[in-house]
Amino acid sequence: MATLSSPFWHQPAVERALTGARDQNRLSRAYLLVGPDGAGKWPTAMWLARCLLCAEPEGSRRPCGVCDSCRRVDATTHPDCHVLFPIRKSADEDDTEAFLSAKHADPFAVVRFASRATLAVDRVRELITELNKTSVEGGAKVAILFGADQMDRISQTVLLKSIEEPPPGVHFVLTAADSERIYPTIRSRCQMLRFAPVAAELISARLQAENGVEASQSDLIAALSGGGWGAAVALATEEAETRRKYALTLWESAFQAQASTLLEEIGKGFTRRGLDHTLEAFDVWAYCLSRDCARAAGIARTPGPAGGAAIRDVETGWDCWRILSNGRSVLRVNVLPRSAVSATFLALRARLGSRK
């Protein structure tokens, strides 16, 4: 695991940009950190906060990681470091405790809730009110909006003015998995730093070495992680493996079963699954489709199961990929998971010519 003073695991471009700006005392007033879940956006945001609030003189010794200011930033108790992250309105206190506990234990951790979490406008307004007050300790103030792409339009509109004209001494650090969901006017006022997906081979090797994951599972988990170490760890649990096995089994049987049997199985499996778990299943199916396409082209590393999609040509493969991508996208507009999954598999079966 990356240390407190070095949160940049396999992110050399981000590390060079930020340490260079620190050494020249030219840290930006607003950053937007973009990249896969668990790639290191949270520890980097906290590193920036420590840089700005550390008791050491400005320069390469910041952040020291041991002074009272640095320790309070890490504990999310510093009065001049304000942190927002998506939570559910119905369980704000429980979600806050769960999120911070997970991040304190592992800054690369990926925290997901059973239902949709947001950065609500009332919390953004409260943040701006605090930022307009005098610094408690007489120095800089830092606002971290983790998961800023979870803000709705009203929240982003409220935030925009403060980004355009930051209060004296205030620095903003926004993070996002999808920068396109953030207003262009906000993006244009931030220095954007992109976290590259870490190579699957590196993640797989680390899972085997540090988490004791078998090679047969670590390769699949690494492929599904999106290039984020924290996402890979979240997928290495027994609960995640159970969900993954269900998604794999569904794919292998989906194109041979009767349509009524398939829909019944989908109805049972996705009645209570949350958005994130359904998105996770779509990632498994995308992996399966890639494998089936490679197998059809004769370039698959292993023959794989007998079931799955019978890809006949490149055009069919691309059409199936578009169907999967569309099914994943509609989940973002409050479509019931089982409805999105059912419609996706029926469309895939139609494209592949299934008559059952």
Interval 30-42: pLDDT, tens? 999 999 888 999 9
**pTM of this prediction exceeds 0.95:** no
Q: pLDDT exceeding 70 applies to what percent of the chain?
A: 93
Tokens, residue 64:
């020291």
pLDDT at 329 over 60: yes
- Residue 205 CA to residue 317 CA, distance in Å, equals 30
**200-211 and 215-224 helices, crossing angle to 10°:** 130
Q: What residue segments make up the domains of the chain, in order of their start?
A: 12-194, 237-352
176, 182, 184, 189 alpha-carbon torsion, rounded to 10°: -50
Per-residue model confidence (pLDDT) at position 94: 83
CATH of 12-194, one of 3.40.720.10, 3.40.50.1580, 3.40.50.300, 2.60.40.420: 3.40.50.300
Three-state secondary structure call for residue 173? strand
**Range 58-85 average pLDDT:** 91
Radius of gyration of the chain (CA): 22
CB 177 within 8 A of CB 1: no
Using CA atoms, how far residue 37 sits from 7, 96, 175, 299, 344, in Å, is: 15, 18, 10, 29, 25
